[in-house]
Structure 1
């Protein structure tokens, strides 16, 4: 990320120290070092640090990690992500007529908190549920859970974050279509979407019924549902470009989710930070 892009999208949302001597290394370089760890997937101690005039590393990797933890704890990383959504809405780059949601599971290799064994994926890890628009822009802060949790109840926790983000950017979701997989098909989820003025587009899941369900069939548009393979599934494919997120080696879940938030931030900034 260039210095001009950093000052426009990142710096206004970062917390800075008020006491002590000024830092010898700019926040722009520290933030780019965090992005290096996110893209390369290496350990913090193996980050390629540039040398100063004396031939020594200009900063120790521990200081980069501590700075990232400070920004994660005070909400700076969440504010950066929210700022990208607001910028996309101001520039009319969001298509909120259809919102696609889904969950993804990341395997954990070193243990840690907020983990569970997923019998469907045959791995131990954690999962998130995220929403994006029709142009692959991530809208809502994702909901996190252990890997053994069912994704269907997580939707009720994710919807308030979606509507809260819409209010923050002054966007109207009334009449929008929420397209989800069949795993989210239940009366409670459909009612939660209807109560927020949106329309669910979820294929009916028989769940091993012995007889067909009586009554009128639920509204379902197959054409909208097919978009999820070039929207939300593409977002998760782009997420795999960040090697730090392919496998979870962070024992602290908040650190892993902060890095995932940065990845979603960079996906949203692809309209402005093209190489």
Structure 2
């Protein structure tokens, strides 16, 4: 086994979740070799055409990666490991939220600008989570991680989208199913975030759902409250000791960006790029 390739333990958990071949055709390239090839590509950031021959034909590996991104195979793998950890009580529901900017390589541009979803529009890449900022075309990865630093939800937006704007979508994407009957769990016990998420609307929405909030108040908000005197109201509750736990989301971002194919975006389609993040995230869950 080489670096970044699947361990036997990880493969045993992933194998039953992969699609089974249907119909007739030529020789079927082993799923494990394909996944190892995908992981090599994500680890190195190299072009698909440079995939080593030991992983098979690069077109076969790319086509299966594209197909699994489209049919939700990687999403099902991540959902499966989350359900397992929640069933055994390993998930810490004190959720930390943050985002990170990723530069888009020139190969990531040129996709069709048709259709879009909330938080993924921009002047340069409608529906592909590309936005123009001072450094050029960028994508922003928004994460909500549990108390161990493992992602519960992943949302892509254009790089010029404000964190507060994407926050409702990040929170709504938290959805961990039960192993048996019952509704999926969507509500964390507490949300920990930095000053970028300090807004009255966010605090109100979390309070209405009964979710604890640990978000520091911005200096301009403190000054505005002081100017209004007694009409400014009380300062929001804030516990510095709890806030120190927010570093888990920053460490998670660091672990994801160790993969060169994630630290720089090479995929034209936001769907494919998010699938890469989802696959690496699933491995983080499996290997933790």
Assess if the C-alpha contact under 8 Å between 2:96 and 2:246 holds in 1: yes
Show the counterpart of 2:142.
129
Q: CA RMSD in A?
A: 2.3
Which of 183, 186, 191 matches 2:199?
186
How far apart are residue 171 of structure 1 and its match? 7.1
Question: Residue 106 in 1 paired to residue 72 in 2?
Answer: no
Q: 1:14 is matched with which residue: 10, 18, 32?
A: 18
Q: Does 1:212 align with 2:225?
A: yes
How far off is 1:183 after superposition? 0.9
1:40/1:242 contact within 8 Å kept: yes
TM-score, scaled to structure 1: 0.85
**Could you tell me which residue of structure 1 aligns to residue 84 of structure 2?**
87
Any residues of structure 2 matched to 1:13-92 within 5 Å, and which?
13-21=17-25, 23-50=27-54, 59-92=56-89
The partner residue of 2:286 within 266, 269, 272 is 269
> In the TM superposition, what is the alpha-carbon distance from 1:167 to its structure 2 partner?
6.1
8 Å CA contact retained: 1:156, 1:192: no
Mapped partners of 1:115, 1:192: distance in 2: 28
Q: Which residue of 2 aligns with 1:246?
A: 263
SS in 2 for 1:128: strand
User: 1:41 deviation in Å?
Assistant: 1.8
Quickly say closer, same or farther: Cα 1:239–1:138, change in 2 above 3 A: same
* Match for residue 166 of structure 2 among 145, 154, 165: 154
| TM-aligned CA deviation for residue 125 of structure 1 | 0.5
Aligned 8 A contact 2:95 2:188 in 1? no
| Aligned-pair CA distance for 1:196 | 2.5
Equivalent residue for 2:155, pick from 126, 129, 143: 143
Change beyond 3 A, Cα 1:74–1:252 = same
Q: Check the 8 A contact 1:175/1:197 in 2, yes or no.
A: no
Question: Structure 2: how far apart are the matches of 1:250 and 1:35?
Answer: 14
